[in-house]
Structure 1
Amino acid sequence: MPESQSDTLDRVLDAALSRAGDEPVEFDVAAGRAALAAALEDRAARPAEHKPRRTRWLAAAAAVTVLTGAALAASTADFGGTSATAAEQLVRAADLAARVVERPLAPGQFRYVRSRYEGITVEGDGGKASATDLTQEEWVPADRRDEWMFRNQINSVRWLEGHEGQGRPDAGTSFKDGQEFRGKCGKYSYYAEGQPDRCTDGSFHNPTPEFVAALPKDPAAMLARLREAGQAGDAGALVQAGAALNSGQYPAEVRATIFRALALLPGLVVTDRKANLDGKEGVALGLKHFDDFTEIIVDPDNGDYIGSRATVAEDLPPEEGGLEKGTVRSSSAVTTKIVDSLGAR
């Protein structure tokens, strides 16, 4: 029997979880991205037929460099916002971002990107769910052909209250606590042989200089590019924008264009006016995407992008984890700075 797209997605996620230790992984990252996109598109067309047996947010993130995570407590999400208000927030953020004068990255320096992820992993058949909190750090050299470094830290793993299982839950990520990788062009040892490095494989979540230079400056054209990359309409465009901004590598003027592009989304609403990620408060702007509201969060005072998250839009049945409306299923917070050496903070 031919393998369905949803089966392909499960196969990709199973491959991610099977990765262990420091051994190179025979995992096709590009195919993983394509399989995820295809499965999401297929689910959008036939939502009633898709019943995933398990949701592995952080494992998928590690496998295909889609940066998500999850916050684990009931949010104050207000799903009754207005599109106009969301657009106004984004235009304001764009205006503030456009005025930023950034310090250039000098030869020999590194862009340090610290990402905090929190995530819920759901066992769909038994109502079990666990929560993982982790921090990932990356040092990207001024000359991307030089050596990069990536480090993973697992802060905590616990059963979600009311969804406990037996023993200690899995961490929800294939990377070990304290695991570190180095590689020129960001091609770490877990890349399968033949996979492109991050100097040449440009995308919204891996913005090579050439990719960034080719992005449109017109907001409508930028939105079209985001929709094309997301392959799931307006919500897919918002997901792509979150992946781009989570990378921490876009110049201020490009971030401003992304904000202005998202302001054109007709269904975007303010879902939470006091969203807090990693100690920072901002405004969450989102769209319904399958069972969740997919959101980006911006600081209204300075236009900074704070992070992204996904909040459960409606109470889920027990076979899908039983999470309540307002539960923050996934979130990420990102901060960046310029440092003078590999490993410096």
Structure 2
Amino acid sequence: MTDLRPTDDLDRGLAALHADVDTDLARIERTRSTLLDAVAHAPVRQRAPRRRWLLAAAAALALVAGGSIYLTTLAGGSAEAKSSLEGAAQQITSVSDPVVPPGQYRYLGSHTWTYGFTEIPGGGLEYLEEHTTETWIPANIRGTWYRRETTTGRHQWIKGSDELAKKYGITFDRKSTTTHAACGAFDGGGGACAADGSWQDPSLAWLSGLPKDPDALYERLKQDAPRNERGETELLVYAQDALRTGMLPADTRATLYRALGDLDDLQITDKAANLDGRIGIAYSSDDGSNREEIVIDPHTGAYIGSRQVSTNGPTRGRIEAYTSFINSVAPAPWKAPSK
């Protein structure tokens, strides 16, 4: 069995930030065994003649708290969710954002395990792979940003083996790409310095134009999110898109949390969601097929990650997506957080 204990800069950063969390490796190993058994016996997705990547919650480290890849019971209704989000908003102050000293960098890190499927003669291989994305933002946000995206090479077999993979030329090599761009314009646009922006790519100008009133911000969400079969769930997705960029300042996050309290079907799914050792409250919206969740630390108001859970069909209750998120300070590009 592949060792899934943290390695690399992002994992060391997570470990340093949360060194006080009980890691209890025996419990992790039991959880991992339960996970693999559950996934191995879960319904297999329709096969495709190419390699597919789906974000999966089969991240063993994420499942220590529950010991399963299935979530089935909501913990609180919309009134409780609204009140809880108000409490989280009140925990956010102007000092809730990391203070970046001159010459240092704000560090944004996301940690994901992905589900992979490769068709081979007579069947298919199923496995989990680990991915990380790290971004370093200078104290002067208009300066040069740095980004590293890594497929670590660490994997866990659900169905298959290294021998079979080798036979068919399938490898799990470590792959890392790095880039840098002024003002975070990694895609060739204006980045944080653009005159426009969006929930997926917020710029300083776009952020300054957001309503300061929660009800008005809710209406802005309704205006900007596409009108589709997902209904209000799409609003939570748009909010999540903005939160995971790390660009929302403290006051905007507080207003956004209060705006999300206006969602008619908002629920508390999990009052102790464990994302890589950080515990938060999972707030969710269900479109009838999938439940989107954002996870917030109730003590600091920090956004710490997201999950997507299937709520229909044979995979009902199974987590389909998992990402943990940290926002800290690093001494230099390509370096882990200083604490």
TM-score by length of 1: 0.67
For residues 140-151 of structure 1, the aligned pairs below 5 Å read 140-151=137-148
For residues 196-275 of structure 1, the aligned pairs below 5 Å read 196-198=189-191, 199-200=193-194, 202-231=197-226, 232=228, 233-275=231-273
The answer to whether 1:119 aligns with 2:114 is yes
Equivalent pairs counted in the alignment come to: 270
- Cα distance per residue 1:152-198 (max 9 Å; x no partner): 22243344359x99627787xxx97222112223234xx4xxx4231
Stretches of structure 2 that go unaligned for 5 or more consecutive residues are 1-45, 59-67
Question: Does the CA contact (< 8 Å) of 1:121 and 1:129 recur in 2?
Answer: yes
Stretches of structure 1 that go unaligned for 5 or more consecutive residues are 1-50, 59-68, 317-323
Q: Distance in 1 between matches of 2:262 and 2:47?
A: 32
Question: Does the CA contact (< 8 Å) of 1:78 and 1:270 recur in 2?
Answer: no
For structure 1, which segment, 264-273 or 221-230, has the greater mean C-alpha deviation from structure 2 after superposition? 221-230
Shift of 1:262: 0.6
Q: Distance in 1 between matches of 2:179 and 2:115?
A: 25
Question: Does the CA contact (< 8 Å) of 2:279 and 2:297 recur in 1?
Answer: yes
The answer to whether 1:335 aligns with 2:323 is no
2:56 pairs, out of 70, 85, 93, with 70
Q: Distance in 2 between matches of 1:283 and 1:148?
A: 31
Could you say if the C-alpha distance between residues 304 and 110 of structure 1 is closer, same or farther in structure 2, counting changes exceeding 3 Å? same
Could you say if the C-alpha distance between residues 270 and 165 of structure 1 is closer, same or farther in structure 2, counting changes exceeding 3 Å? farther
Question: Does the CA contact (< 8 Å) of 1:246 and 1:333 recur in 2?
Answer: no
Q: Distance in 2 between matches of 1:208 and 1:332?
A: 23
1:184 corresponds in structure 2 to 182
| Counterpart secondary structure, 2:201 | coil
- Cα distance per residue 1:288-338 (max 9 Å; x no partner): 13621100011223322111110111343xxxxxxx322211111111123
Q: Distance in 1 between matches of 2:72 and 2:331?
A: 40
The answer to whether 1:160 aligns with 2:158 is yes
| Amino acid aligned to 1:325 | R
Could you say if the C-alpha distance between residues 109 and 272 of structure 1 is closer, same or farther in structure 2, counting changes exceeding 3 Å? same
2:284 pairs, out of 286, 290, 301, with 286
1:86 corresponds in structure 2 to 81
| Amino acid aligned to 2:140 | D
Q: Distance in 2 between matches of 1:187 and 1:226?
A: 24
| Counterpart secondary structure, 1:264 | coil
For structure 1, which segment, 234-243 or 269-278, has the greater mean C-alpha deviation from structure 2 after superposition? 269-278
| Counterpart secondary structure, 2:317 | coil
Q: Distance in 1 between matches of 2:171 and 2:83?
A: 42
| Amino acid aligned to 1:204 | W
For structure 1, which segment, 110-119 or 80-89, has the greater mean C-alpha deviation from structure 2 after superposition? 80-89
Question: Does the CA contact (< 8 Å) of 1:292 and 1:311 recur in 2?
Answer: yes
- Counting aligned pairs with the same residue, the percent is 31
Could you say if the C-alpha distance between residues 154 and 207 of structure 1 is closer, same or farther in structure 2, counting changes exceeding 3 Å? same
| Amino acid aligned to 2:138 | P
Q: Distance in 2 between matches of 1:295 and 1:315?
A: 19
Shift of 1:342: 2.5
| Counterpart secondary structure, 1:167 | helix
| Amino acid aligned to 1:111 | R
From the CA coordinates, give the structure whose radius of gyration is larger: 2
Shift of 1:100: 4.4
TM-score by length of 2: 0.68
Shift of 1:286: 0.8
Q: Distance in 1 between matches of 2:296 and 2:98?
A: 21
- Cα distance per residue 1:11-68 (max 9 Å; x no partner): xxxxxxxxxxxxxxxxxxxxxxxxxxxxxxxxxxxxxxxx99699566xxxxxxxxxx
Question: Does the CA contact (< 8 Å) of 1:77 and 1:272 recur in 2?
Answer: no
| Amino acid aligned to 2:300 | N
Could you say if the C-alpha distance between residues 308 and 101 of structure 1 is closer, same or farther in structure 2, counting changes exceeding 3 Å? closer
| Counterpart secondary structure, 2:243 | helix
Shift of 1:211: 1.3
Question: Does the CA contact (< 8 Å) of 2:96 and 2:300 recur in 1?
Answer: no
| Counterpart secondary structure, 2:175 | coil
Q: Distance in 2 between matches of 1:99 and 1:187?
A: 26
